[in-house]
């Protein structure tokens, strides 16, 4: 039997990516392009959408060439429905609606957060972990239960990646390849720990107060030579990552799971992985994490998750192929996970 | 793509600002593909900007109405961006 193949489009933030995958998680192509702003600046919806408009079609060509497949080989066309910034999301949605009609292939709308989780699971082989999803737009501790990915803890204001990105702007660090990467590199040179607010509230975390505090004190401390930019990066990372490890550990105790999977752009931070690995080993569990190829937004994760839904009978009629800025992880009924749990469909189970 | 005819036509009531856009495609099939792709997304402020689309033969016609010139410009400009994207997608991937 021919292998099921999906093409997926991701463009919810500053990356536009097109991925082609098969149902067993093999990635045939996964090109992406990142909108990189000058130091000190973030990315805004309209400019980001224009970046995506310029790059999406060349990426489709590149993905088809690399994978050496033709449109006839594709079973479904998947796209990120949300959450994310409206105008950039629309770019993928429009291309997918046109291609669906040209190629006569069905559309599958995908939740971005669920796609990160499924990609992480198939790449690492983690079966039923507690998931820490950390990126520029999202911070959630998630575990699967009865058909849905349930959110056990989350940020009550800004995402951890947003906190790091905005602090990088204060220091005028480069946004290439990403502000978080440059903070991580600089933090390795820091050793003087500056006390910062620590904001864990039950299962939830808060980062905006930490950001305000470090934004206002950084200038003065640097001017008085009380610390270096490296010390500040080091202290910020240690503080926010300790908070994340704490709420992840609490979720593990709560749902009686031993393993942790880290996904999302901040998930490729090796210091975060190291801290989480220590905590997991103390609980006789394992840490599963991936590198920047899979952690950071990409088209393959959308294609793979859409394909899981598609083989379970889910399709999105074109008139319903909308996009939305708000789309919570637990709104998605993960039918493929239910089948896995019941062991009904071994072909669908990820291996 | 051809023949863009934006014309500001003042009328009597709240919907004081309007313009029309006609786009000719190679075939009615292509015009319908673009129509179907762009009809999914509704205007975000329907009480302030209206957009009506139709297809006849190979022509896509779009009529905009707004209560402020600023809103009309924003809506028109955003629409042209996605219209161009849909058209380029057909140009790049439409021939078998």
What is the per-residue pLDDT across B14-65, written as a single tens digit (0 to 9) for each? 899 999 999 999 999 999 999 999 999 999 999 999 999 999 999 999 999 9
Q: In this complex, which of A50, A99, A320 lies closest to B89 when CB atoms are compared?
A: A99
Tally of CA atoms within 13 A in the half-sphere of B34 that contains its CB: 33
- In this structure, the answer to whether residues A149 and A284 fall within a common structural domain is yes
- In this structure, the answer to whether residues A184 and A250 fall within a common structural domain is yes
Would you say residue A92 lies in a domain? yes
Cα–Cα distances in angstroms (integers) from residue A308 to residues A75, A291, A328, B78, in the given order: 12, 23, 19, 33
List chain B residues with CB under 8 Å of A87.
78
A204 is in an annotated binding site: no
- Residue A309: give the domain boundaries: 5-117+296-342
Q: Residues 88 to 127 of A: which have CB under 8 A from any B CB?
A: 90-91, 93-95, 97-99, 101-103
- In this structure, the answer to whether residues A141 and A270 fall within a common structural domain is yes
Give the pLDDT confidence score for residue B2 in this predicted structure.
46
Give the pLDDT confidence score for residue A128 in this predicted structure.
96
Q: Which residue of B has its CA nearest to A323?
A: B41
Give the pLDDT confidence score for residue A344 in this predicted structure.
56
What ipTM describes this predicted complex? 0.92
Instruction: Give me the percent of chain A exceeding a pLDDT of 70.
Output: 98
List chain A residues with CB under 8 Å of B91.
none
The residue-averaged pLDDT of A52-63 equals: 98
Q: Which residue of A has its CA nearest to B90?
A: A98
Give the pLDDT confidence score for residue A52 in this predicted structure.
98
- In this structure, the answer to whether residues A284 and A302 fall within a common structural domain is no
- In this structure, the answer to whether residues A152 and A94 fall within a common structural domain is no
- In this structure, the answer to whether residues A10 and A47 fall within a common structural domain is yes
Would you say residue A52 lies in a domain? yes
- In this structure, the answer to whether residues A151 and A181 fall within a common structural domain is yes
Give the pLDDT confidence score for residue B13 in this predicted structure.
57
Give the pLDDT confidence score for residue B44 in this predicted structure.
92
- Of residues A301 and B5, more confidence is placed in A301
User: For A81-139, what is each residue's pLDDT tens digit?
Assistant: 999 999 999 999 999 999 999 999 999 999 999 999 999 999 999 999 999 999 999 99
Subunit contact B93:A99, Cβ cutoff 8 A: yes
Residue with tokens 């997926």, as numbered in its chain: A8
d(CA A258, CA A201): 23
Domain count of the fold of chain A: 2
Would you say residue A349 lies in a domain? no
Q: Which of B27, B35, B37 to mutate to test the interface with A (most CBs of A within 10 A)?
A: B37
SS (H, E, C) chain A: CCCCEEEEEECCCCEEEEEEEECCCCEEECCEEECCCCCCCCCCHHHHHHHHHHHHHHHHHHHHHHHCCCHHHCCEEEEEEECCCHHHHHHHHHHHHHHHHHHCCCEEEEEHHHHHHHHHHHHHCCCCCEEEEECCCCEEEEEEECCEEEEEEEECCCCHHHHHHHHHHHCCCCCCCCHHHHHHHHHCCCCCCCCCCCCEECCEECCHHHHHHHHHHHHHHHHCCCCCHHHHHHHHHHHHHHHHHHHHHHHHHHHCCCCEEEECHHHHCHHHHHHHHHHHHHCCCCEEECCHHHHCCCHHHHHHHHHHHHCCCCCECHHHCCCCCCCCHHHCCCHHHHHHHHCCCCCCCCC
List chain A residues with CB under 8 Å of B92.
57, 60-61
pLDDT of residue A140 exceeding 80 = yes
| Stated pTM of the model | 0.94
How much is the mean pLDDT over chain A? 96
Give the pLDDT confidence score for residue A96 in this predicted structure.
98
Q: Which of A14, A17, A12 is nearest to A42 (CA)?
A: A14
A33 is in an annotated binding site: no
A165 is in an annotated binding site: yes
User: For A220-261, what is each residue's pLDDT tens digit?
Assistant: 999 999 999 999 999 999 999 999 999 999 999 999 999 999
User: For A173-223, what is each residue's pLDDT tens digit?
Assistant: 999 999 999 999 999 999 999 999 999 999 999 999 999 999 999 999 999
List chain B residues with CB under 8 Å of A50.
81
Burial class (CB in 10 A: 0-12, 13-18, 19+), A342: exposed
B45 vs chain A: nearest CA distance in angstroms? 14
Local confidence band at B96 (pLDDT 50, 70, 90 cut-offs): low
CATH number of the B17-94 domain: 3.30.310.50
d(CA B66, CA B52): 12
Subunit contact B81:A56, Cβ cutoff 8 A: no
Would you say residue A348 lies in a domain? no
Give the pLDDT confidence score for residue A350 in this predicted structure.
46
Subunit contact B82:A56, Cβ cutoff 8 A: no
Subunit contact A102:B33, Cβ cutoff 8 A: yes
Subunit contact B93:A71, Cβ cutoff 8 A: yes
Q: In this complex, which of A60, A98, A320 lies closest to B37 when CB atoms are compared?
A: A98
Would you say residue A122 lies in a domain? no
- In this structure, the answer to whether residues A76 and A196 fall within a common structural domain is no
Q: Residues 14 to 73 of B: which have CB under 8 A from any A CB?
A: 33-34, 36-41
Contact status, residue A23 vs residue A311, Cβ threshold 8 Å? yes
Contact status, residue A107 vs residue A77, Cβ threshold 8 Å? yes
- In this structure, the answer to whether residues A100 and A60 fall within a common structural domain is yes
> B90 — contact with chain A (CB < 8 Å)?
yes
CATH of the domain at A149: 3.30.420.40
List chain A residues with CB under 8 Å of B86.
94-95, 97-98
User: For A336-347, what is each residue's pLDDT tens digit?
Assistant: 999 888 875 445
Q: Which of A187, A160, A159 is nearest to A173 (CA)?
A: A187
Boundary (domain end) residue, out of A262, A278, A294: A294
Q: Where are the domains of chain B?
A: 17-94
Between chain A and chain B, the number of residue pairs with CB atoms below 8 A apart is 61
Residue B22's H or E segment, with its range, is strand B17-24
- In this structure, the answer to whether residues A150 and A38 fall within a common structural domain is no
Cα torsion angle, A106, A109, A112, A116, sign = negative
């Amino acid at each position: 039997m021919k292998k099921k193949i999906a093409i997926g489009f991701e463009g919810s933030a500053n990356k536009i990516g097109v991925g082609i995958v098969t149902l067993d998680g093999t990635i045939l192509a996964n090109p992406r392009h990142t909108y990189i702003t000058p130091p000190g600046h973030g990315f805004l919806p309209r400019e980001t959408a224009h970046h995506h408009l310029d790059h999406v079609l060349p990426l489709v060509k590149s993905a088809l060439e690399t994978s050496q497949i033709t449109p006839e080989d594709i079973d479904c066309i998947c796209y990120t429905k949300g959450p994310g910034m409206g105008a950039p999301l629309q770019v993928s949605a429009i291309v997918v609606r046109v291609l669906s009609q040209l190629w006569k292939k069905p559309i599958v709308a995908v939740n971005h957060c669920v796609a990160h989780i499924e990609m992480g699971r198939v790449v690492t082989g983690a079966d039923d972990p507690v998931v820490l999803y950390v990126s520029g737009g999202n911070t959630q501790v998630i575990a699967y239960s009865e058909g849905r990915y349930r959110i056990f803890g989350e940020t009550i204001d800004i995402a951890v990646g947003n906190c790091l990105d905005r602090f990088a702007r204060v220091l005028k660090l480069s946004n290439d390849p990403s502000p978080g990467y440059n903070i991580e590199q600089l933090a390795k040179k820091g050793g003087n720990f500056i006390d910062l607010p620590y904001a864990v509230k039950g299962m939830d975390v808060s980062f905006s107060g930490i950001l305000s505090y470090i934004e206002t004190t950084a200038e003065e401390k640097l001017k008085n030579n009380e610390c270096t930019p490296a010390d500040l990066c080091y202290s910020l990372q240690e503080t926010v990552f300790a908070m994340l490890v704490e709420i992840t550990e609490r979720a593990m105790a709560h749902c009686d799971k031993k393993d942790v999977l880290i996904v999302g752009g901040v998930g490729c931070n090796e210091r975060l992985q190291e801290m989480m690995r220590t905590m997991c080993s103390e609980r006789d569990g394992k840490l599963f994490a991936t590198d920047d190829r899979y952690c950071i937004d990409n088209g393959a994760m959308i294609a793979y998750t859409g394909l899981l839904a598609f083989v379970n009978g889910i399709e999105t009629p074109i008139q319903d192929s909308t996009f939305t800025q708000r789309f919570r992880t637990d709104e998605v009924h993960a039918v493929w996970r239910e089948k896995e749990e019941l062991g009904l469909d071994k072909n669908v189970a990820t291996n | 793509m051809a023949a863009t005819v934006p014309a500001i036509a003042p009328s009597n009531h709240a919907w004081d600002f309007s313009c029309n856009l006609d786009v000719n495609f190679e075939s009615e099939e292509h015009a319908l593909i673009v129509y179907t792709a762009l009809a999914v997304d509704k205007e975000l402020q329907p009480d302030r900007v209206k957009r009506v689309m139709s297809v006849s033969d190979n022509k896509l016609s779009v009529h905009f109405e707004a209560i402020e010139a600023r809103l009309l410009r924003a809506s028109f400009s955003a629409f042209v961006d996605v219209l161009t994207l849909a058209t380029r997608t057909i140009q790049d991937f439409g021939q078998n």
